[in-house]
Chains A and B, each alone.
Chain A
Amino acid sequence: MSRRELAKWVGLPLLALLFLAAPFIFNDPYYQHLLILICTWSILALGFLLILSVGQFTIGHAGFMAIGAYASALLTTKVGVSFWFALPLAAVIAAIFGAVMGWVMLRARMGAFLLLTLCFAEVVRLTIVYWPSLLGGRAGFPNIPRPDAIFGMAFDSKFPYYYLILFLLAVMVFVIYRMDRSKFGLTFKSIAQNPPLAQSVGVHLMRYKILAFTVACFFAGAAGSFYAHYLTFLSPEYFTVWKSLIVQMYAIIGGIGFMIAGPIAGAAFLVVLPELLRATETFSFILYGAVFILVIFFIPGGLLSLPQQVGVWRQALRRRAKIPGGIRPWQYLRPGS
């Protein structure tokens, strides 16, 4: 068996098994909480990378998560819908917002798009802050019900929550995998690398960009709905632009050349790292800063490109050449596009 086949038939099932068994291996509510966070942020980071793959850089993705979260909270508390209807509904609402806002925003160039998403996310957050009668305002949205029991699983421990978010993550991974391996994946790459050329061979730029954006927003909304019912409390402070930025760092640190594994690995690494080192809040700030800078300078392809990067270093050492820049998947992304 070649190394590739080995990875496919042995590595992937093992990895899936690891994800399924994770809450049993780390059988402690706090570790399970971390696992749930990793999956939640992975969904957002995957969405960010999907948008990046059509050549746009969003820093307001948490805004769509907020829409999903508050939509779901409102639906269950004010309308009285069950969580199991509220979750897909919240995702659809976020997707509709995504489609409309995408139609408005995606025609901007990269730099302007970044600022537009920032403004949109702030409008969403500030609307929540200044609408206390409906959305709880700065004080937060309390008493969001836990999900009803399903298939005999009551939501009273972390286990069902973990499997629910893992299921959402798996659905998203499946969707992105299918898109990436189909005509869409190639089209997205062509849009990111050379929009005029893509357009000249008949790619409808806006249509594909809106598609990618809507899919990303759909899952951000689903993750938001999950997050609302997992915490049973929401605050606009959970959805600041800084939160979006950190989530996007997960994807970049993991490796933007790895459509699916990158964001998940990055989220896992950056969530676990401060815990491993038992870092205080202050120290984890320093740690994150150092990791961001060191990864960009020494493993520019992201953590998952480390094996390739080591190969590059060894080759350079053998030839006694100057150490080259290495793998840089971002060099095609120009702010002008």
Chain B
Amino acid sequence: MDVSLIPQVIANGLMMGMSYVLIASGLTIVLGITRIINFAHGEFYMLGAFCAYYFFQMAGVPYLVTILLAILAVGVLGMGVERVLFRPIREFFLPSVVVALGLAFFLAGTAAWLFGPEEKVVTSPFPGVLNALGATFSVERLVVILIAIVIMGGLWYLITRTKLGRALRGVAQDREAASLQGISVNGMCNISMGIGCGLAGAAGVLLGPIFIVHPYLGALAIFKALIVIILGGIGSMPGAVLGGLLLGFIESFGLTYLGGVTDVLLFAFIFVLILFRPGGLMGRVWVIRH
């Protein structure tokens, strides 16, 4: 075990972890409030990445404006999807899986058709590297971590400190009771989908320049996001943060010191975790009951 690698491994873990947090937090909000496993969440992330390509790379829109644009565009699309596709079948498990999966296929296929299936490269908005503690940090990744922290902070404020957040938590806890208090369940589901997809869009813009942008990006993203929310606790926001960071560090340490076996061990661990703690590590904190 090479100790001198540790700062670098921690940096990579933090970076991967924060990107998982960004993707998974949107998924967990939607799952917590609408109780639909949004298999199309990865595709919203992919659309965000294409926003980065078209707005930032092609049209030359400033990076921070691109993030806001992507949150808006993908969020509004998500709200539309919720209204038209998810609302009628929200109460039923089986059709919601089918519709979400169908939506994922449809969006991935449409993106491949419209944007072309080839991989696209987004140039880094913040080139350069930083050397400290014997590790190399790329400035871009540090900025991503910072922006991710800002976004998660904003989300934390929204959910715990505002009236809207209280309404969202209410719907997540008990729909009937919430609607008795005059909270619109339909409205909250719509808003949660907007927030969730907006987060996916932001994640896409942030991670697009780091990874490669292509239309079939979503499948891997949703898979990782699912693992994160299982680890952390389904529907729990701190769970998504914990799960995301944990997954980032496990992958970073595991791939450096153990190799591919990490993945097998990870899934075996999650298997045991679900058996004995179906709520995940942080189940039932904040948002939902599973």
Contact = CB atoms under 8 A, between A and B. Distances in A.
Given A112-B278, A126-B264, A282 B103 contact: no
A57 B268 CA distance: 20
B171 to A, nearest CB: 17
Contacts, number: 126
B106 A333 contact: no
Interface stretch (B129-137, B187-195, B269-277): B269-277
| B contacts with A: majority SS | helix
Contacts of A290: 102, 106
A108 B278 contact: yes
Contact of B105 (A122, A252, A285, A333): A285
Which interface class (under 10, 10 to 19, 20 to 34, 35 or more) fits A? 35 or more
Given A122-B267, A297-B88, A112 B93 contact: no
A57 B264 CA distance: 23
A293 interface: yes
Interface stretch (B70-78, B107-115, B153-161): B107-115
Nearest to A245: B101
A334 B268 CA distance: 27
A159 interface: no
B43 to A, nearest CB: 10
Nearest to B264: A126
B225 interface: no
Contact of A286 (B97, B99, B110): B110
| A contacts with B: majority SS | helix
A330 to B, nearest CB: 4
A89 interface: no
A285 B109 contact: yes
A123 B219 CA distance: 18
A282 B112 contact: yes
Interface in B25-75: 35, 39
B97 to A, nearest CB: 7
Interface of B: 35, 39, 85, 88-89, 92-95, 97-99, 101-110, 112-113, 117, 219, 223, 226, 230, 234, 259-261, 263-264, 267-268, 270-271, 274-275, 278, 290
4 shortest interchain CB distances as A-B pairs: A289-B106, A292-B102, A285-B109, A289-B105
Given A115-B270, A297-B88, 16 more contacts: A57-B94, A105-B275, A119-B274, A123-B264, A130-B261, A282-B112, A282-B113, A287-B109, A288-B105, A288-B106, A289-B105, A289-B107, A290-B106, A293-B106, A333-B93, A334-B93
